[in-house]
Structure 1
Amino acid sequence: MGDTSSKAPNFKIQRRGLFQASAAGAVAASLAGCAALDEGPEGTAAGSDELADLLPTYTPYEGGIEPDLPGQPDGTVTPGFLSRPAEPVKAITEPVMTTGEDITAITPLWNPTPPGLPDNSYFTAVNEILGGTVVFNIADGNNYLDKITTTLASGDVPDMFQIPGWEIINLSDFGEAANELFADLSPYLAGDKAAKDYPLLASYPTAAWAMGVFGGKLLGIPWERSPYTNALFTRQDILDELGLEQPKNLDELLAVAEEVNDPSKNRWAFASLDNTLQEVMGVPTLWKVEDGKLVHKFETESFAAAIEFVRNVFDKGLVHPDYVADRNTNAKEIIGSGQAVFFEDGLGAWHEMFQTYRNVEGFNLQIVDPMPREPGGTPTIWRDDPAGMFCFIKKDLSEERVKECLRLANWCSTPYGTVEYDLVSDGVEGVHFIVDDQGVPQRTELGQTEVAPTYMFLSGRSNANMKFQYPGMVERLHEWETNAAAFLDPSPFQGLRIEMPSDLAAENEPMKEAHHEIYRGQREVAEWAQIVDDWRAKVGDSAREYYTKIAEDNDRL
């Protein structure tokens, strides 16, 4: 895929796990207007085994190209490709759109909106291959929650609707709305049905499909994602210039940070720092089991230690002042300009940074291996959900129309190395992109204007590590994932599909705001204990009771 790709993965990392109280209130009020909706969700939980009758049987796709570096079936290591195939393979020969009717779709976009039909040759070319017309309603990804809210509240949903999981958690009545408005896909996909009719959809991991279950029905086509929520990156060129090695534990991180920090040269150690430090301290993803009881991450000694350490880093002046002033500041710009040496982000930020700052002389951003708290210790890596975005199909369409939408989703799922993947990602070769001497698709001027991430949001696709245009990146990312996989947090709820009651999520953002205020000296470190006590009284103990029952029912306690 060309480097003008969607910024969706980065927005996911910034926004997942947050609950914006004011937005949530508005959403709840809006969704109340949906016809015949029940009251707010009480939450559900089920393992993949329990959902087996609803889900496609996992069937690896055999028609693609072989990776140079093998992945893992559980998604912990992404297959790596060191070059572009000389001849991309054609994955699908059967007709896709056959009813003669348009398919309407709402999708997000974090890039400038391209021209629409009939003035977009990219849309025209893809639709010609599909045999019908997809009519996109493209919404601003930065304000996509507003689009989702108003659309669901109206009850007038398109044939296909992409809704990211990080927005779903902000919708207090989403399960009810989804069951009212979107089609149950199990009759078309469950068991061996997907492998027969939609083989690319069948190649998604079972755990990813389980995430598409809402209110006991398979409603969402998942977009598989890597289990890694974030990583620490460093300006390796600056470390090399100063003769410094990458840190391998917490003490080394602080020592290197103090060495590189030099405000007189407009350079600070950190452009951002939060989640990766919690991982270094051993903070669990959400819950851990101690003495046979569930303990939330907020309650752990490791979380308190992380807060104290980061506060110390802020107090020492090791953090860029823009991030001190605003935790949502654009840390990428700080790193790209060389005003800081370390920052945290999602794995997708790595190649995007190389693309954005390719003209900066000597720019060399590298990923830092997972670090333990102490030398010889064991790192902790938070485990992300196996799917992060979902495409829904409108309820009450005819059976043939649902099948047509599923054929379209299957076509949009074509993996790296296929003709269809190129077309979805970059358009028509020679028109919208050319292949440079490194084998990398490069958008033409027309492609930069007309091609945008749209069709890809009508499904998901298998992950591929293939940014080989940046020397060593494919190999290094494969190495990092292989190393990190061994340290993924052994969550007591691994493999369960849990829909948390909305009121239990409501305090996530206030708690995040509270510990960021401690970082910045607006509150004292000693206040954290009382903040946690208040959280327990408000929602924490209820959350523990809820999760304990799930754990006991599934033999996890």
Structure 2
Amino acid sequence: MGDNANGTPRLHRRSLFQVGAGAAAAASLAGCAALDEGPDGTAAGADELADLLPTYTPYEGGITPDLPGEPDGTVTPGFLSRPAEPVQAITEPVMTTGEDITAITPLWNPTPPGLPDNSYFTTVNEILGGTVVFNIADGNNYLDKITTTLASGDVPDMFQIPGWEIVNISDFGEAANELFADLSPYLAGDKAKKDYPLLASYPTAAWAMGVFGGKLLGIPWERSPYTNALFARQDLLDQLGAAHPTNLDELLAIAEEVNDPSANRWAFASLDQTVQEAMGVPTLWKIEDGRLVHKFETQAFADAIEFTRQVFDKGLVHPDYVADRNTNAKELVGSGQAVFYEDGVGAWHEMFQTYRGVAGFDLQIVNPLAREAGADATIWRDDPAGMFTFIKKDLTEERIQECLRVANWCSTPFGTVEYDLVSDGVEGVHFTVDAEGVPQRTELGQTEVAPTYMFLSGRANANNKFQYPGMVERLHEWETVAAPALDDSPFQGLRVEMPSDLSAENEPMKDAHHEIYRGQREVAEWATIVDDWRAKVGDSAREYYTKVAEDNDRL
């Protein structure tokens, strides 16, 4: 183990991948204005990274959305139906070297048959003009696969690595620069829109997340900026004559109104982040009196803990969630044992799919809540990209371009033939289209088709769950309302990798405030818990982020 120029422990090449709380505090920052410091550079914003990133160029070859989106991704384009005739975006084969492309991708489902016994793989490869050989790894243990592969130095031609795993790998930026190709020579500026127009259609902020150690290494998978939402069983609210809350006072009043344990019904199946956001807790940091303050240190966070403890003490939370915060809140809401719960926005359509057989089931999204009447709502802002595809560094220029063409092909948006192929295979073989215009897998499709090619790139977000009446319109409306409430982080637009020891402390801190909710610790203990956190990592993290903020004129 050696030290960097700042005296921070840093691991050498073969011991690079220690994971967890012991990981080095100075995880490499991505990019710097001079772009010559490699993994030890400082964070950079879009202006500093402009010479590295593709120029944002909206793709014009797809279908027109019924409800327009926003270029910054805060409002997703909405589609009210599937086109009768999907358009073909790419007509020529994209694999031309005659060599296979090897790829490692995760999967959270049963592994499908491999080649040559999988007609889905065979068909897509024929269209691509060559063979992609997948090494499919268990998504639940994917970090083990990533660290073992990176430590060996023997990486595949294309490697999907999620951002939530990257934060657990110390000195990832150093490893990435050593093992993966710099994509700027192929994509920067106007280069992408000519040869890889679908890659050029990703938001600039998403591309900035793919910069590691001052180089554009990762092809991003764009994601919605919304981390969480509150959902309500609308059918139960209607039966009980209750409305949606608009602030925390109303939330508590409505919760007390609908809560009835004697009828096996509680107000909440889960509750945590919703209250913190409504209280005005920042996503991570905020500036107060010219100084960075972490969300744990804010009075708003302490107020959120006290409010949530009150909700628990009043018996408004389902006892299963009281006993175990990892309980399946979806089941409690789906069975009607709870009225409200919080989840990722993408869970909305999944709940309709799961509980469509429940008579009268109607789950609706609740607009962001304010702390009190007349106050503004706050919504935490998620990173603009969550997963990344990397291309092996020592490939020839021709092979790197081939991999980029495959990534571009896999990026085709909703409404295209390629989108159907990537998502569901061949119509009439792997899926059919039902009366609502929704692809339904055949028995063969259920066996052979799995998320694989989609992990070779990202894809543009699409609000297209039109099989559930009103969902597309309501989600578009919710995002339009939520967009102005997104937290204005002091690091908005900067590409900063969180120090890994700070990330490692998130879970113990979450454990602590959940213990307070449940009465296992007192509300007054929170101040001491925060003091301990400051001594462990908080003050050093503040110093780290302060330098980033000062270097980028945010302080």
Map 1:211-290 onto structure 2 (within 5 A): 211-290=209-288
Partner of 2:32: none
Which residue of the other structure, out of 45, 48, 61, is the alignment partner of 1:47? 45
Unaligned runs of 5+ in 2: 1-10, 30-41
**Are 2:431 and 2:445, in contact at CA under 8 Å, matched by a contact in 1?**
yes
Kindly provide the amino acid, as one letter, of the partner of residue 501 in structure 2.
D
Which residue of the other structure, out of 370, 385, 394, is the alignment partner of 1:396? 394
Partner of 1:121: 119
Kindly provide the amino acid, as one letter, of the partner of residue 41 in structure 1.
A
1:132 CA drift (Å): 1.0
> Counterparts of 1:307 and 1:161 in 2: how far apart (Å)?
41
> Counterparts of 1:333 and 1:145 in 2: how far apart (Å)?
28
Whether 1:430 aligns to 2:428 is yes
- Give CA deviations for 1:182-230 in whole Å, capped at 9, x if unaligned: 1111111111111111110011111100000011111100000111111
1:420 CA drift (Å): 0.4
How many correspondences in the alignment?
528
1:505 CA drift (Å): 2.5
**Are 2:28 and 2:172, in contact at CA under 8 Å, matched by a contact in 1?**
no
Kindly provide the amino acid, as one letter, of the partner of residue 257 in structure 1.
A
Which residue of the other structure, out of 91, 94, 98, is the alignment partner of 1:93? 91
Partner of 1:548: 546
Partner of 1:460: 458
- Give CA deviations for 1:157-200 in whole Å, capped at 9, x if unaligned: 11111111111111122111211211111111111111111110
Which residue of the other structure, out of 79, 98, 120, is the alignment partner of 1:81? 79
Which residue of the other structure, out of 386, 392, 409, is the alignment partner of 2:407? 409
Distance 1:374 1:156, change over 3 A: same
> Counterparts of 1:66 and 1:296 in 2: how far apart (Å)?
42
> Counterparts of 1:515 and 1:550 in 2: how far apart (Å)?
29
Whether 1:58 aligns to 2:56 is yes
> Counterparts of 2:455 and 2:150 in 1: how far apart (Å)?
18
> Counterparts of 1:165 and 1:501 in 2: how far apart (Å)?
14
> Counterparts of 2:341 and 2:118 in 1: how far apart (Å)?
38
Which residue of the other structure, out of 312, 315, 328, is the alignment partner of 2:313? 315
Secondary structure of the residue that 2:490 maps to in structure 1? coil
Distance 1:194 1:305, change over 3 A: same
> Counterparts of 1:226 and 1:513 in 2: how far apart (Å)?
27
> Counterparts of 1:39 and 1:465 in 2: how far apart (Å)?
38
> Counterparts of 1:41 and 1:447 in 2: how far apart (Å)?
42
> Counterparts of 1:333 and 1:400 in 2: how far apart (Å)?
51
Whether 1:68 aligns to 2:66 is yes
> Counterparts of 1:125 and 1:262 in 2: how far apart (Å)?
55
Secondary structure of the residue that 2:147 maps to in structure 1? helix
Which residue of the other structure, out of 437, 440, 445, is the alignment partner of 2:438? 440
Distance 1:302 1:543, change over 3 A: same
Distance 1:503 1:193, change over 3 A: same
Partner of 1:387: 385
**Are 1:107 and 1:457, in contact at CA under 8 Å, matched by a contact in 2?**
yes
Distance 1:30 1:547, change over 3 A: closer
Map 1:490-505 onto structure 2 (within 5 A): 490-505=488-503
Map 1:446-525 onto structure 2 (within 5 A): 446-525=444-523
Identity of aligned residues (%): 86
> Counterparts of 1:153 and 1:520 in 2: how far apart (Å)?
42
- Give CA deviations for 1:23-68 in whole Å, capped at 9, x if unaligned: xx9x9956279xxxx9963533101110111111111111111110
Partner of 2:100: 102
> Counterparts of 2:551 and 2:212 in 1: how far apart (Å)?
19
Map 1:66-215 onto structure 2 (within 5 A): 66-215=64-213
Which residue of the other structure, out of 526, 529, 532, is the alignment partner of 1:528? 526
Secondary structure of the residue that 1:512 maps to in structure 2? helix
> Counterparts of 2:176 and 2:364 in 1: how far apart (Å)?
41
**Are 1:32 and 1:153, in contact at CA under 8 Å, matched by a contact in 2?**
no
Kindly provide the amino acid, as one letter, of the partner of residue 499 in structure 1.
E
> Counterparts of 2:426 and 2:372 in 1: how far apart (Å)?
52
> Counterparts of 1:94 and 1:447 in 2: how far apart (Å)?
25
> Counterparts of 1:87 and 1:440 in 2: how far apart (Å)?
13
> Counterparts of 1:340 and 1:446 in 2: how far apart (Å)?
38
1:329 CA drift (Å): 2.1
Which TM-score applies when normalising by structure 2?
Answer: 0.92
Secondary structure of the residue that 1:376 maps to in structure 2? coil
1:263 CA drift (Å): 2.2
> Counterparts of 1:554 and 1:112 in 2: how far apart (Å)?
46
**Are 1:28 and 1:172, in contact at CA under 8 Å, matched by a contact in 2?**
no
Secondary structure of the residue that 1:499 maps to in structure 2? coil
Distance 1:399 1:291, change over 3 A: same
Kindly provide the amino acid, as one letter, of the partner of residue 447 in structure 2.
T
**Are 1:39 and 1:173, in contact at CA under 8 Å, matched by a contact in 2?**
no
Secondary structure of the residue that 2:155 maps to in structure 1? coil
Kindly provide the amino acid, as one letter, of the partner of residue 524 in structure 1.
E
Secondary structure of the residue that 2:43 maps to in structure 1? strand
Higher mean C-alpha displacement, 357-366 vs 143-152: 143-152
Higher mean C-alpha displacement, 387-396 vs 507-516: 507-516
Distance 1:464 1:32, change over 3 A: closer
> Counterparts of 1:237 and 1:282 in 2: how far apart (Å)?
30
> Counterparts of 1:40 and 1:395 in 2: how far apart (Å)?
24
Secondary structure of the residue that 1:139 maps to in structure 2? strand
> Counterparts of 1:143 and 1:28 in 2: how far apart (Å)?
21
1:298 CA drift (Å): 0.7
> Counterparts of 2:184 and 2:451 in 1: how far apart (Å)?
27
Kindly provide the amino acid, as one letter, of the partner of residue 17 in structure 2.
L
Unaligned runs of 5+ in 1: 1-24
